[in-house]
């Protein structure tokens, strides 16, 4: 990509520009090193003047550590995007760890002030260290968040992140009742979330309003699927976890496991309406026939390797 085409001092203001997309796919897999030192320098687009360019979507994807912004720069970008609606942070985000963030040279005065993302409805977090993802959620306010994607793997434990997502979040106004970030979700995709077993119940206990769930069982504890057919006795829960769930996307499971979920939810009066199953699942013809007779919609889907945050009506094609 030729940065000079948009950043050279001779480039005039972009008075009519409404959409801008910058990509560099050539270094998508170079997580640890980056040898293009000529691209390290700061640059300003269109002389700093693009009055119609309001950021509604921001995706930060696969940045080597040395190319990532500081915590102060990262949060400043978000604070100055009042119209932001979709935020994807995939193998990117602020560099270093939390301790270093508070030792940055000349940090802004509002470094500790919560980041108010009051219009963000869609959030995807993937391939981030647990401590960074947890602190970002802790310092952010998402009063209108409806769709969430979580995709983590490896040897790290994301228990603290789950606990942070489930705790009463900071309110955007003193008069507003505190509730967890999870409690307002309508759509959730989990493609990987290593955590302690008890956290699975903690997470699902906050998803009372969830309508659509997408889970990749090849990378999750079996309890993430089993809990959907488990009784729950708390008042107002419909006798089962996720009482408003109507749509389920699932991969990495078997026909017998799916039949158990569908059967149990039908039994307690909170049936699944739509079931989408990844085509490589161990589902036999008799399972397919049974499932089609017990849900309103049953379909197979193909899951692509690059489809990190698709499914469940969420963002696709990273």
Q: What domains does the chain contain, in order, with CATH numbers? A: 1-53 (no CATH), 54-301 (3.80.10.10)
Provide the mean pLDDT of the chain: 84
pLDDT for the residue numbered 318? 34
Question: Which H or E run includes 286?
Answer: helix 285-294
pTM of the model: 0.86
Q: How far is CA 307 from CA 18, 25, 186, 192, in A?
A: 27, 16, 20, 13
Q: How far is CA 215 from CA 63, 157, 185, 219, 233, in A?
A: 26, 18, 15, 9, 24
pLDDT for the residue numbered 18? 79
Q: Are 274 and 300 in contact (CB under 8 A)?
A: no
62 Cα distance to chain centroid? 15
On the 0-12 / 13-18 / 19+ scale of CB atoms within 10 A, 2 is exposed
153 Cα distance to chain centroid? 14
Nearest to 138 by CA among 125, 121, 151: 125
pLDDT for the residue numbered 236? 55
What is the arithmetic mean of pLDDT over 172-195?
88
Residue 276 contacts by C-beta under 8 Å, 6 or more apart in sequence?
247, 248, 249, 250, 298, 299, 300, 301, 311
pLDDT interval class at 262 (50, 70, 90): very high
What is the arithmetic mean of pLDDT over 175-189?
89
Q: Torsions phi, psi of 161, nearest 5?
A: -65, -45
269 Cα distance to chain centroid? 30
pLDDT for the residue numbered 60? 87
pLDDT for the residue numbered 315? 40
- Range name among 11-15, 36-40, 82-86 with the lowest pLDDT average: 36-40
Structure tokens at 161: 């992140």
pLDDT interval class at 263 (50, 70, 90): very high
Residue 34 contacts by C-beta under 8 Å, 6 or more apart in sequence?
27, 64, 66, 67
pLDDT for the residue numbered 313? 43
Q: Which residue has the tokens 């947890």?
A: 134
Residue 283 contacts by C-beta under 8 Å, 6 or more apart in sequence?
254, 255, 258, 277, 291
pLDDT for the residue numbered 64? 83
């Amino acid at each position: 990509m030729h940065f000079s085409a948009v950043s050279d001092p001779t480039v005039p203001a972009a008075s009519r520009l409404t959409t801008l997309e910058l990509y560099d796919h050539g270094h998508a897999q170079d997580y640890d090193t980056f040898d293009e030192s000529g691209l390290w320098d700061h640059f300003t687009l269109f002389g700093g003047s693009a009055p119609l360019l309001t950021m509604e979507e921001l995706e930060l994807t696969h940045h080597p550590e040395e190319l990532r912004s500081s915590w102060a720069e990262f949060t400043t970008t978000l604070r100055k995007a009042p119209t932001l609606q979709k935020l994807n942070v995939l193998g990117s985000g602020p560099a270093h760890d939390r301790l270093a963030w508070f030792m940055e040279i000349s940090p802004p005065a509002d470094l500790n002030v919560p980041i108010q993302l009051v219009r963000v409805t869609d959030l995807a977090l993937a391939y981030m260290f647990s401590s960074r993802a947890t602190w970002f959620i802790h310092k952010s306010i998402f009063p209108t968040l409806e769709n969430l994607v979580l995709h983590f793997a490896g040897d790290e434990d994301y228990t603290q992140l789950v606990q942070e997502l489930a705790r009463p979040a900071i309110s955007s106004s003193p008069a507003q009742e505190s509730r967890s970030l999870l409690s307002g979700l309508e759509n959730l995709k989990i493609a990987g979330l290593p955590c302690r077993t008890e956290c699975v119940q903690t997470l699902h206990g906050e998803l009372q309003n969830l309508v659509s769930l997408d889970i990749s069982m090849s990378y999750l504890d079996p309890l993430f699927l089993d809990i959907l057919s488990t009784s729950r006795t708390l008042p107002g829960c419909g006798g089962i976890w996720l009482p408003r769930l109507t749509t389920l996307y699932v991969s990495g499971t078997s026909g017998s496991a799916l039949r158990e979920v569908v059967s149990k939810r039908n039994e307690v009066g909170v049936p699944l309406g739509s079931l989408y199953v990844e085509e490589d699942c161990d589902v036999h013809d008799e399972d397919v026939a049974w499932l089609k007779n017990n849900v309103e919609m049953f379909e197979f889907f193909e899951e692509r390797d690059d489809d990190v945050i698709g499914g469940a009506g969420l963002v696709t094609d990273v």
